[in-house]
Amino acid sequence: MFFALFAAIFESSLASILAVDYGSDWIKASSMKPDVPFDVLLNKDSKRKIQSSVAWKDERLFGSDAANIVSTISYNFLPLV
Within 10 Å of residue 49's Cβ, how many Cβ atoms? Answer: 17
Which helix (H) or strand (E) segment holds residue 35: the answer is none
Cβ-Cβ contacts under 8 Å for 33 (sequence gap 6 or more): 16, 17, 39
Res 12: pLDDT: 54
Res 5: pLDDT: 57
Q: Which pLDDT tens digits describe the chain residue by residue (81 residues)?
A: 555 655 556 655 667 888 888 888 888 888 888 887 888 888 777 888 888 888 888 888 888 888 787 777 666 666 655
